[in-house]
């Protein structure tokens, strides 16, 4: 018999509506540890047995046990416990779900490495049918709870959140008592028997669906008090026995305390999901109010967990079965917005869509309409008849967008999803759910700011451009695969020759699809560098990319103060072919914007054989242009260094750099090879580098209080 490390125990009675979603959330788990799922059908009178039998026929690690009649959850749990082969076990009710695909691996891994712990748990969203949420544990940092603290009831974790070390083969007979049917008895037994600690992680990795059912929820406040006292009394009698022991006295103190407090029904603080998402959007948009955030890459683990959990809720609520039909031979590109002047990503999306048609029968491009897209632009960009463009209604609210996207993805049932999520698109992030697609691959095209969805555990693989990206993401996420691949770029310049000093004077150029890249908050202002170059050459500088009136006026003022005519600075909004345009303009040297420059733009300059000058960033916080570039190209460190390099340029040195750039491009940017990597990008795991050269910063930590705490503290109880 195959090894089993963990046993997932599922007692179920009449669970036909939600059990598929619960099982799918377990089957989606990414772990190298083998596990089994033991389902005890407790005399169900609906289609539960048929549904589970279909799963068991497909997956040999699912075990189905049928009770002769409805014996109750306690009996069913005991039966599964005795059958369980794992050295750890986890209980999951048939209407609750795991929301993070790395949950089991993280918990098993912790118990494997920490034998002095009896259990490991995390936080949970309690979700109500009206799309409202409560948080179960108001603790927002990692904690270790000692044996004594656990006895004092300082922590309660929901069944869907806690994994135990299995310390006996069979539970004692007293578990047949009415008082020991629930999860409190399981917790206290393993705690008292082992006298070990508990580890708590604040992550939201499961949903407890409060639908009014269950033993506890069916009781009024008086009956709940009575049940609590009965559980504690029976614990003293059967699990402790010794009246002089500290444990007995602690529990007696608890019983005495319950007798002194007024009996009242406590309402949990509930927040509707729309308010939570709106709060998160405002929270994430703060990054745009401070340009210093553009000098680094950030992610919000909490926002990603909220999004992933809400998305999984809509799958549970609809009772979607993600294992009931095969994946179709189609691919999906999901995007937030399509901007024709949006830099390299526009061309990369076009190339990717066409490349996917070489492997799949059809490609869908699904727009979340985070920003309203022009329908003509979408159809112009994806004009092949085998590509179907789907736009959801821009006027939908956040929850309606999540639901619409999930249902579209469910109907398409594609083999692969490539999501391109803008910085604030929480609905698209929420709709990326494991099981809707066979594989989810993120092309990491983010060079600054907040990366939405980076911690979404449904993403299976990342396409990265270089080692610094790989090391940063691998250090930040869990259980991911990687494919290293330069930006997709066809060689369009095999016959177009770079000619230095075509204008008889040094001509330079730069490009940035976003205005802030040309005026970022950094040790040097980009326009000062351009002025310094023109001051040395008396030539012209072409800048490609969006510039608003305020920025142009600011640049002109700088030129006036430097005594240089502003007509030496020539602004071009954008062009579909940067390299060709610059060659036609007689550009001799491309000046990379800093600290942010598009990797694709740098590679395109090398394909055109245009020499490049990059800024040598000391201790970079984002991926510098030099990371994507021929190492023989020019590097400047300070303004004096820049002026020295510019003064030294001549036809011979520029021709040498041009040849080197072209040779590096040809060697490292085989389009056919790269496109094959893109569409075959299942990727491979890599060893984690403990000190990556560039970090992805935790946006939550630099913003003070834990985001969840801020959300729930800001709302009134409903």
Listed in order, strand segments (DSSP E) in 421-568 are 439-443, 449-450, 461-464, 481-484, 508-511, 541-544
* Residues 583, 588, 590: CA angle, nearest 5 degrees: 90
Task: Look at residue 686 in the predicted model and tell me its pLDDT.
Answer: 87
Mean pLDDT of 622-645: 90
- In 3D, which of 423, 373, 431, 375 has the Cα closest to residue 402? 431
Q: What is the pLDDT of residue 342?
A: 57
pLDDT band at 704 (very low <50, low <70, confident <90, very high): low
| Strands ordered across the beta sheet of 541-544 | 569-572, 541-544, 508-511, 589-591, 612-615, 634-636
- Residue % of the chain over a pLDDT of 70: 95
Question: What mean pLDDT comes out for the span 18-42?
Answer: 97
The pLDDT confidence band at residue 715, using thresholds 50, 70 and 90, is: low
Q: What is the pLDDT of residue 718?
A: 39
Compute the half-sphere exposure of residue 275: CA atoms within 13 Å on the CB side of its CA. Answer: 17
What DSSP state is assigned to residue 329? E
**Orientation angle between helical segments 48-58 and 19-27, nearest 10 degrees:** 20
Residues making up the chain, counted from first to last? 718
Classified as helix, coil or strand, 462 is strand
With cut-offs at 50, 70 and 90, classify the pLDDT of residue 662.
Answer: very high
What is the helix (H) or strand (E) element at residue 36, kind and residue range?
strand 35-41
Structure tokens at 150: 């656990």
**672-688 per-position pLDDT tens digit:** 777 787 787 678 888 88
pLDDT at 182 over 90: no
- C-alpha 471: how far from its chain's center? 16
For the stretch 223-265, pLDDT in tens is 888 888 899 999 999 999 999 999 999 999 989 988 888 777 6
**CA separation for the pair 354, 384 (Å, rounded):** 8
**153-167, 387-401, 485-499: least confidently modelled range:** 485-499
Has residue 520 got a pLDDT over 70? no
* 438 vs 699, residue with greater confidence: 438
Distance CA 301, CA 303 (A): 6
- Res 644 pLDDT > 50: yes
Asked if residue 478 lies in contact with residue 487, where contact means CB atoms within 8 angstroms, the answer is no
* Dihedral (Cα; 370, 371, 374, 378), 10-degree rounding: -50
CA 140 to chain centre: 19
For the stretch 140-143, contacts whose Cβ atoms lie closer than 8 Å and that sit 24 or more positions apart, written own/partner, are: 140/202, 140/705, 140/706, 140/708, 140/709, 141/202, 141/706, 142/199, 142/200, 142/201, 142/202, 143/199, 143/200
Question: Residue 667, SS3?
Answer: helix
Give 209-227 pLDDT, tens digit per residue: 987 666 666 667 788 888 8
Average pLDDT of span 359-378: 91
Question: How would residue 538 be classed by pLDDT, with cut points 50, 70 and 90?
Answer: very high
Q: Distance between CA atoms of 424 and 510, rounded to whole angstroms?
A: 28
**Which tokens sit at 559?**
């030129």
- Collect all residues with Cβ–Cβ distance below 8 Å to 296 and sequence separation of at least 6: 448, 621, 622, 695, 697
**Please, what are the domains in the chain?**
6-259 (3.90.550.10), 275-489+679-701 (3.40.50.11380), 508-668 (3.40.50.2000)
Q: Give the model confidence (pLDDT) of 337-357 as tens digits.
A: 887 765 557 878 888 899 899
- The enclosing H or E element of 380 equals helix 375-381
Tokens for 25, please give them: 């959330």
Q: What percent of the chain has pLDDT over 90?
A: 67
Q: Which of 100-109, 296-305, 521-530 is least confident? A: 521-530
Mean residue pLDDT of the chain comes to 90
Alpha helices (H) in 73-210, listed in sequence order: 73-83, 103-113, 147-151, 183-194
639-648 and 526-537 are packed helices; what angle lies between their axes, rounded to 10 degrees? 30
Helices (H) and strands (E) in the chain, counts: 23, 27
**pLDDT above 80 for 701:** no
Q: CB of 137 within 8 A of CB of 219?
A: no
The C-alpha torsion from 224 through 230 and 233 to 238, rounded to 10°, is: -130
Lowest mean pLDDT among 37-46, 586-595, 620-629: 620-629
Q: Which of 641, 646, 535, 552 is nearest to 591 (CA)?
A: 646
Q: Residue 519 has what pLDDT? A: 62
Q: How many other β-carbons are positioned within 10 Å of the β-carbon of residue 488?
A: 23
Q: What is the pLDDT of residues 118-150, one digit of tens each?
A: 999 999 999 999 999 999 898 999 999 999 999
């Amino acid at each position: 018999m195959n090894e089993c490390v963990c046993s997932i125990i599922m007692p179920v009675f009449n669970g036909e509506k939600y059990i598929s979603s619960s099982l799918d959330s377990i089957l989606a788990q990414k772990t190298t540890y083998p596990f089994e799922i033991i389902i005890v059908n407790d005399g169900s009178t609906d289609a539960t047995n048929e549904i589970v039998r279909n799963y068991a026929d497909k997956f040999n690690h699912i075990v189905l046990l049928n009770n002769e009649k409805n014996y109750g959850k306690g009996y069913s749990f005991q039966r599964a416990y005795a059958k369980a082969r794992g050295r750890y076990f986890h209980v999951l009710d048939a209407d609750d779900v795991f929301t993070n695909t790395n949950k089991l691996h993280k918990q098993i891994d912790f118990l494997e490495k920490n034998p002095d712990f009896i259990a490991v748990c995390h936080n949970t969203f309690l979700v109500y049918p009206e799309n409202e949420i409560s948080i179960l544990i108001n603790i927002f940092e990692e904690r270790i709870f000692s044996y004594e603290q656990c006895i004092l009831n300082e922590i309660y974790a929901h069944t869907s959140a806690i994994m135990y070390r299995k310390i006996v083969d069979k539970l004692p007979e007293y578990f047949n008592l009415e008082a020991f049917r629930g999860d409190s008895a399981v917790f206290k037994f393993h705690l008292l028997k082992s006298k070990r600690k508990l580890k708590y992680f604040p992550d939201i990795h499961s949903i407890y669906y409060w639908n009014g059912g269950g033993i506890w929820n069916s009781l009024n406040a008086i009956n709940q008090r009575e049940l609590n006292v009965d559980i504690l009394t029976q614990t003293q009698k059967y699990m402790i026995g010794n009246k002089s022991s500290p444990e007995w006295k602690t529990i007696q103190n608890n019983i005495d305390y319950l007798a002194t407090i007024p009996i009242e029904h406590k309402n949990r603080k509930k927040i509707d999901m729309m308010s939570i998402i709106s709060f998160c959007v405002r929270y994430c948009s703060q990054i745009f109010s401070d340009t210093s955030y553009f000098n680094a890459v950030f992610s919000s683990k909490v926002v990603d967990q909220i999004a992933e959990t809400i998305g999984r809720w809509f799958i549970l609520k609809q009772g979607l079965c993600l294992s009931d039909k095969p994946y179709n031979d189609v691919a999906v590109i999901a995007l937030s917005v399509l901007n024709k002047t949006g830099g390299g990503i526009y061309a990369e999306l076009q190339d990717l869509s066409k490349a996917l048609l070489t492997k799949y029968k059809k490609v869908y491009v699904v727009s979340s309409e985070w920003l309203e897209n022009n329908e003509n632009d979408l159809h112009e960009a994806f004009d092949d008849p085998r590509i179907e463009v789907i736009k959801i209604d821009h006027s939908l609210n956040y929850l309606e967008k999540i639901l619409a996207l999930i249902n579209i993805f469910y109907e398409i049932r594609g083999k692969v999803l490539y999501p391109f999520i803008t910085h604030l698109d929480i609905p698209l992030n929420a709709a990326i759910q494991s099981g809707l697609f066979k594989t989810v691959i993120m092309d990491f095209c983010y060079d600054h700011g907040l990366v939405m969805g980076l911690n979404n555990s449904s993403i299976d693989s990342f396409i990265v451009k270089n080692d610094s990206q790989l090391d940063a993401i691998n250090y930040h996420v869990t259980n991911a695969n990687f494919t290293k691949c330069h930006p997709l770029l066809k060689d369009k310049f095999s016959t177009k020759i770079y000619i230095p000093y075509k204008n008889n004077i040094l001509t330079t150029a730069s490009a940035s699809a976003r205005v802030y890249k040309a005026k970022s908050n950094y040790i040097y202002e980009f326009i000062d560098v351009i002025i310094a170059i023109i001051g040395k050459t008396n030539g012209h500088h072409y800048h490609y990319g969006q510039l608003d009136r305020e920025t142009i006026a600011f640049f002109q003022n700088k030129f006036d103060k430097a005594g240089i005519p502003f007509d030496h600075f020539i602004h071009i909004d954008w062009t579909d072919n940067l390299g060709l345009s610059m060659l036609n303009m007689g550009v001799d040297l491309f000046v990379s914007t800093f600290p942010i420059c598009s990797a694709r733009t740098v590679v395109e300059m090398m394909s055109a054989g245009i020499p490049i000058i990059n800024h040598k960033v000391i201790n970079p916080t984002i991926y510098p242009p030099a990371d994507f570039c021929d190492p023989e190209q020019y590097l400047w460190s300070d303004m004096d260094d820049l002026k020295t390099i510019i003064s030294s340029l001549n036809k011979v040195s520029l021709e040498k750099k041009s040849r080197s750039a072209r040779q590096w491009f040809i060697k490292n940017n085989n389009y056919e090879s790269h496109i094959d990597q893109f569409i075959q990008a299942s990727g491979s795991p890599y060893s984690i580098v403990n000190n990556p050269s560039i970090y992805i910063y935790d946006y939550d930590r630099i913003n003070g209080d834990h985001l969840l705490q801020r959300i729930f503290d800001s709302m009134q109880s409903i």
